[in-house]
Every structure is written in structure tokens, then in C-alpha cells.
Chain A
């Protein structure tokens, strides 16, 4: 469980996040949605410690994360996996070494044990015979899957995904969504996803948090989001004609 308590963040005089509080439950896919510039990415960067919060607290299973320095956070970081928007695979390493990297850095596993874990993780994200390929040889969807494999390799308790569907075709997006959902349930981890993708919201979102102008504007489930009368949220979700027609049906 991850708990955010009154998080605020400023860049200069500009308020990026104002008094954001929420609880992201274990074994749940928690989605953070919002328009561009709403503060989603900054919130996620604060949660993983890439940015420091100005006010408020971030608690990982009741352990205060935000008050710790870089060294003190190291044990927490080993419990965190993150999938970046572009995959962020290491260019100089092939797929196998990318997935093996966190294991090589932080465990004393033998090479055979690490290989077994790498192959298990790659198999889990439905990738076979790609071990020796370089990241530049992979498609967008494959890169995301390798990034997921790398994130889950050290058995994280918390999984963060920053727009995992961006740049993917609808079918591949569904594959990635389902994969994240399955992994969340299978390993009982706390998953937080930043997304714009409304299909993800409706298909895999256990809890949805809507950010607007740096504030938590709405929170609820996928069923509730279809029936909400929140003006800004409706304007965001049902922006397209297709979504508007769905709204009418609902």
C-alpha cells in the first residue's frame, strides 16, 4: 500500500501539485489520469524519489519514504520497479543483460540462477528468442515488455508505469494492459499507472485518481467514472465522439 498525505510540489512560483492525498492499495491497479500538465508525471517522480516533495508525506506500507535521503532510500528502491514511457532500456546492453542488470547489481545469485530468472521474466511477458537482441532492434511493444520484465525481475512490491501505452497500437496496448493487470494480481503488488488511455481506465483500473491543475479532482472506480457528473472529468474522458456515444449508451 502506498499512501500520499497532502503532497505539494512547486517549480519556482508555479504550483505543480497542491495538497494531493490518496491511498493506492495492494494487489490493485491504481490509475492516475489527467490532461497534459496536470501533474501526473511529477506526482509519480515524487513517489519514486526522482523529485522531492515540498510538503506532505509518502508512505510505503506505513514507512515514511519522503523524509529519507538517497542512501536511506536504497532498501525501498529495491522493492520498486518502474516502466518508463519510452522503456528506458540500456542501449549498450542486450535484452538479456537489461533484464539481468538489477539482479547483477543487488543480488549474489549465480549466473545460472540469474539466467533462469531472466528467462522466466521474459517468458512471463510473452517474449521468446529475443535474449541477444539489442534494444534498437525491438518494436515499441517489445521494448515495453522488456521494460516490464526488467521491472519485475527483482520481485518488486511496488510497480510504477508511466504511460505504458503511449505510442502503441490499440491491440498491443491491450496486451500490455492485461499483462500489467495479471502481474499485479499474480504477485500481489501495488501498481500505479499514469495514463491517458481510456481503454486502460475502463479495462484494468481498480481505482482511478483524476488530477486537474495539480489537484486531486476526483477518485473512484471504473464503474463510477462512467456515471460521474464531475464536469472537468467528463470533459476529459468523453472528449472524443466515440466516448460521447458510449456515455449516451451508459
Chain B
């Protein structure tokens, strides 16, 4: 029944967080700082993972296309749809759950065990709202841009890997990218990134905020945050696909 306790506590935490900011200008500064942290701060890892995974998807698709009846441009279609529908919004969000989620939990958890959150409470500040709300809004705002960039870089990586190795012509790949393109897939990817941003930041913040003990517990909370947010992302991925695509 422990999960039920955490489930209830999570929603109480959400309720406590959704209050009017004490001072909007302070929250705005925090929001911009978090946008920079989550967006610009994640560009390196997102670019690296996207380019190489896009390249691997393309090469593996070419490797598996043994039937001469299947046109070569279908590599572009497969790469495009794999990257836009699944790789960029889901796999990159799993990567970000590790990077950003553990960062949020350790930051808030350390503040909890060193009494910095108590200091905020005593000053009369709603610590949950002050610490967490800017992170959630920033992530939900910036993640869709990061995912769009990831999709662009993934497709570029696939294009470069396919054409530079001579496995597919530039014309075939680009024709594949344009063939039967469904703009709704991009909308679907953005919806997923929006939902996953909420999951990553709230689960990580919840675990950080309810950390008790010392450094060891902060580490444990970070691990729990990454594990639970990853599981919820995978479940959310299935649910959203079922609801919005099928």
C-alpha cells in the first residue's frame, strides 16, 4: 500500500505547488534560469545522442532492406517516422530524465537536508511553489523546442551516415523524408514532450522535496526519481500512442 501513500502525497504536493506566486518578478527570473539550464544546458548531450542514433537508425534500416522490391527511399521514411514518433520524444526524454531529473532531485534534496527549505518556509515563502513551479513551467516550455531540435539533428545524422557511406543517394533519402509526410506526427511528438516534461520535473521534485536524512538519502532519492520517471514515461508513451495515434 506504500505506492498509494506516495500517490496521495504526490497530488497533495501538486496542490500545494499550484498557488499564486509571492512575487512574480522573482518567479520569472527563476523560470528564465531554468529554461537556460534545461534547454541550453542539455544541448550537448541531446545533439550527441540524436546525431548518432539517427545515423544508426538509417544504417540499420539499410542493412535490413534486403528485398529489392522495396524502394531505397523507404529508408528516409523509416528514419523520419522512427525519429519523429519515437526516438526524439521518448528516448531523448528518457535521457533527459537521467540528466535533468537527477539534477532536480539532488538540488532540492540537498536543500531539504541542509534546512534551506525550512529557511524558505520560515520566511513565509511557499517553498514547493518557489522551487518547483518555475522548473515545471520551464521544462514544459523548453522541452518541445529541444525535441524539435533533436528530431532535426537525428534526421541530419541519418542523412549524413547514409550518404557519406554511399549506402543511399541524397535524392532517395530526401524523397523518402518528403514522401507521405504527416504533419500531425510532429504535433504528436510535441504533445509527448510536453507530458514527459511534466512527469520528469514533478517526479524528480517530489522525491527531492521529501528526502529525509543526509547525503546517502539524497543519492537514493535521485535514483528513485530517475527510475520512476522513466517507468512513467514508458507507460505514458504507450497511453498517448493508444489515445492519439491508433
**A21: B residues at CB distance < 8 A:** none
Shortest Cβ gap from B228 to chain A (Å): 25
Contact A86 to B126, CB < 8 A, known contacts A104-B23, A104-B26: no
- Tell me the minimal C-beta distance from B18 to chain A in angstroms: 14
The stretch among A2-10, A70-78, A165-173, A226-234 that forms the contact with chain B is A70-78
Residue-wise, chain A 24-61 has the 8 Å CB interface mask toward B (1 for contact) of 00000000000000000000000011100000000000
Tell me whether B36 is interfacial, beta carbon within 8 Å. Answer: no
Q: Does B116 contact A (CB under 8 A)?
A: yes
Please indicate the chain B residues that have their CB under 8 angstroms from the CB of A242 in the complex: none
For chain A, residues 67 to 85, give those with C-beta under 8 angstroms from any C-beta of chain B: 70, 73-74, 76-78, 80, 82, 84-85
Of the candidates A80, A84, A89, A91, which one forms a contact with B118 in the assembled complex, judged by CB atoms under 8 Å apart?
A84
Q: Does A11 contact B (CB under 8 A)?
A: no
B85-110 near A? 1/0 per residue, CB < 8 Å: 00000000000000000000000001
Interface residue tally on B, bucketed by range: 10 to 19
> A88, B124: Cβ atoms under 8 Å?
no
B115–A106 contact, CB under 8 A?
A: no
How far is it, in angstroms, between the C-alpha of A70 and the C-alpha of B122 when the chains are bound? 10
B110 partner, pick from A78, A80, A89, A91, beta carbons under 8 A: A91
A-B residue pair count with CB separations less than 8 angstroms: 50
The answer to whether B121 touches A50, judged by C-beta atoms less than 8 angstroms apart, is yes
| Chain A residues bordering chain B, tally (CB within 8 A) | 23
Provide the A87-131 mask, 1 if CB < 8 A to any CB of B, else 0: 011110000000001101110000000000000000000000000
B114 engages A105 (CB within 8 Å): no
Is B116 within 8 A of A49, CB to CB?
A: no
**Distance (whole angstroms) from the CB of A137 to the closest CB of chain B:** 16
Q: Chain B contacts of A78 at CB under 8 A?
A: 123-124
- The CA-CA distance from A99 to B123 in the complex, in Å, is 12
Docked CA distance A89–B119 (Å): 8
Does B125 touch A at the CB level, under 8 Å? yes
Q: Do B115 and A49 touch across chains, with their CB atoms under 8 A apart?
A: no
A88:B22 contact, CB within 8 angstroms:
no
Q: Which of B207-230 contact A (CB under 8 A)?
A: none
Closest Cβ–Cβ distance, residue B226 to chain A (whole Å) = 22
Contact of A88 among B23, B26, B116, B126 (CB under 8 A): B116
When the two chains form their complex, are residues A105 and B118 in contact, meaning their CB atoms are under 8 A apart?
no
Q: When the two chains form their complex, are residues A105 and B121 in contact, meaning their CB atoms are under 8 A apart?
A: no
Tell whether, in the assembled complex, residue B116 and residue A77 are in contact, meaning their CB atoms are under 8 Å apart: no
Q: Are A50 and B124 in contact (CB under 8 A)?
A: no
B: residues with CB less than 8 A from A are 22-23, 26, 110-111, 114-116, 118-119, 121-126
* Listed A/B pairs (7) with beta-carbon separation below 8 Å: A49-B121, A49-B122, A70-B126, A84-B118, A86-B115, A104-B23, A105-B23
| Interface of A toward B, CB cutoff 8 Å | 48-50, 70, 73-74, 76-78, 80, 82, 84-86, 88-91, 101-102, 104-106
